[in-house]
Amino acid sequence: MATTVYDDRATALQNAVISADLEQLKDVGRLGLWDGPRVRQSVVHTRQDVVMLVSHLSSLNEQVASIRRLLWLIAVLVAGVLLTRW
């Protein structure tokens, strides 16, 4: 399946979040703020998942808006064709 611009944006956003989380985890591990690597890893994965879901919802909103604009254009064209035939 071919990737779209929306998928590429979502992937870029996820990669940015992963990089930021890795930097934060270095600080957290150094300061000893949390116990156990599983807790830290689960927090990172949860954040990445939430960012990915929000990104996909944003891109779906953009796609729906594009479809709505195209439908309005088609409706105007069909109305124009019908008016010129009468």
Q: What integer is the mean pLDDT of 14-39?
A: 69
Conformation bin of residue 84: beta by default, left when phi > 0, alpha when psi is -120 to 50: alpha
Residue ranges of domains in the chain? 5-85
Chain position carrying tokens 């156990």: 36
Q: What integer is the mean pLDDT of 53-71?
A: 90
Q: Is the pTM of this model over 0.85?
A: no
Q: Six-digit token pair at 9?
A: 């944006």
Q: What integer is the mean pLDDT of 16-40?
A: 69
Percent of the chain with pLDDT over 70: 83
Confidence at 1, pLDDT banded by 50, 70, 90 = low
62: nearest Cα among 6, 4, 2, 3: 6
